[in-house]
Amino acid sequence: MTRFFNSRFMMLFGLAVAVGVLFFCMLASVRFGAAEIGTREVIETFTDYDANSEEDLIIRTLRVPRAIIAALVGASLAVAGAIMQGLTRNPLADPGILGIEAGAALAVVGAVFLFGVSSLSTYALFAFLGGGITALLVYGLGSMGRGGMTPMKLTIAGAAFTALLSSLTTAMLILNQQTLEEIRFWLAGSVAGRDLTLLLQVLPYILVGLVLSLGISRQVTTLSLGDDVAAGLGQRTGWVKAIAAVAVVLLAGSAVAIAGPIGFVGLVIPHVVRFFVGVDYRWILPYSIIVGAILLVSADIAARLVLRPQEIPVGIMTALVGAPFFIYLARWRIKR
């Protein structure tokens, strides 16, 4: 496979540029919004904080947390998607498409509906539970039958599970209009109005997930060549897969817990990144973190600006961009 960056220096340079772009995007995310705030004020908020200024208050309590959360969620989803694509050798893998997000969302809605749970840290636990169980079931179903696991079977199993789980979610929402009112914006996937303390509750899980992922990046590269190859090279594939699964569930589950189900970030980013850095997951994963963050932060900006003053949930934006990409992959890139 050809890659755009062909030396180690270029790779590092590219990563540095990406970080710069991310910083710029986050600055823009803080700058744009319902209340007009200039770039100078944004910088002054950090250099010279004034507790009485309304603008400083907006920036500190609303805009900055939102940008950070968008970046973290984007990074988590992109890394989860990259690991899933490597592990299953399925170019269409994504926490949304393979049903993990739908499982997490069902668990959260179920927790709100049945137990009246309302704290985010409990959301996160239910999201992990739902996401984890769904991941196992989809993987099991996708590898059932003759020929073992194939990308097609896995994707279809994921879509079937998404259909199954979201119809159960809808069922619960019909039975209880109050839950619907509370949760429908969350259910579309949004990073608006999230407090920084909420982020702190799930931050440890995200960090553990990211560290685990980066830790096994070398093994994932080997595994992406095939189970047999990896086993032949002396890898204990079972362990690697188990760790990867834990990382994926932690990352996707945390993302769903904070922001609701946001699809297609995990699908698009690894493909984009692979175009630049090739097939080595030691580069794909760090790049995915940064580029995933860039994508979600800019999607969030777009979601705020497209229908001003209305805000579109960012999950709808990513689906409208990502689903055509999915169709493109299925149509032109997948050989029968």
Partner 1 sequence: MIAKRWRGKKNLRGGKFSFKIDMRSVFVFIVLSALALAGIIINVGVGEYPISPPDVVRTILGIELADGNYDFIVNTLRLPRALVAFLVGLALALSGAILQGLTRNPLAAPDIIGINAGAGLAAVSLIVVFPSVSAAYIPPAAFVGACVVAALLYLIAWRGNSSPIRLILIGIGLGAIAGACTTFMITFGDIYEVSQALVWLTGSVYGRSWDEVASFLPWLIIFVPIVIFYSRHLNTLGLGDEVAVGLGSRVERQRGLLIFCSVALAASAVATAGTVGFVAFIAPHIARQLVGPNHGGLLPVSAVVGGAIVVLADLIGRTIFAPIEIPCGIITSIIGAPYFLYLLYRSSQVK
Binding residues for partner 1, rule: CB under 8 A, are 92, 96-97, 137, 141, 144-146, 152-153, 155-157, 159-160, 162-165, 167-168, 170-171, 173-175, 177, 180-181, 184-185, 187-188, 263-264, 310, 312-313, 315-316, 319-320, 322-324, 326-327, 330-331, 334, 336
DSSP state of 53: -
Q: How far is the CB of 271 from partner 1 (least distance, A)?
A: 14
Q: How far is the CB of 117 from partner 1 (least distance, A)?
A: 21
Residue among 52 and 177 whose Cβ is closer to partner 1: 177
Q: How far is the CB of 330 from partner 1 (least distance, A)?
A: 4
Residue by residue, DSSP assigns 237-295 as HHHHHHHHHHHHHHHHHHHHHHH----SHHHHHHHHHHHHHTT-HHHHHHHHHHHHHHH
Q: How far is the CB of 273 from partner 1 (least distance, A)?
A: 21
Residue 33: which region, alpha, beta or left (left: phi > 0; alpha: psi -120 to 50)?
left
Buried b (16+ CB within 10 A) or exposed e, 118-127: eebebbbbbb
Residue among 75 and 105 whose Cβ is closer to partner 1: 105
Do 41 and 35 touch, CB atoms closer than 8 A?
A: no
Residue among 60 and 271 whose Cβ is closer to partner 1: 271
Q: What share of residues in the chain are helix, strand, coil (percent, to 5)? A: 75, 0, 25
Task: Write the CA distances from 306 to 37, 193, 302, 314, integer angstroms.
Answer: 18, 18, 6, 11
Q: How far is the CB of 211 from partner 1 (least distance, A)?
A: 31
Residue among 200 and 327 whose Cβ is closer to partner 1: 327
Residue among 102 and 257 whose Cβ is closer to partner 1: 102
